[in-house]
Amino acid sequence: MFNLVADSNPVLAQQWRNVRPRIHRVPTPEEQAELERPTEVNSSQLREDLNLH
């Protein structure tokens, strides 16, 4: 949606091209692993709490 608005205004389009990579970036493998680590810990803790291991 915002892309359509930006396309109609050259100044806004340039600002959007400058900002967009910081908003919609793909995490590096290290960052992704860091994001997943708490999930693994929480999942393990939940299994222990429910005695499912």
pLDDT digits (tens, 9 = 90+) for 12-43: 888 878 887 777 678 889 988 888 888 878 88
pLDDT band at 2 (very low <50, low <70, confident <90, very high): low
**pLDDT value of residue 50:** 86
Q: Is the pLDDT of residue 6 over 70?
A: no
**pLDDT value of residue 30:** 92
Higher pLDDT, 27 or 2: 27
**pLDDT value of residue 48:** 84
**Model pTM greater than 0.75?**
no
Instruction: Provide the domain limits for residue 30.
Output: 2-50
Q: Determine the Cα–Cα distance for residues 53 and 49; give it in Å rounded to an integer.
A: 9
Q: Determine the Cα–Cα distance for residues 2 and 33; give it in Å rounded to an integer.
A: 31
Question: Into how many domains does the chain fold?
Answer: 1
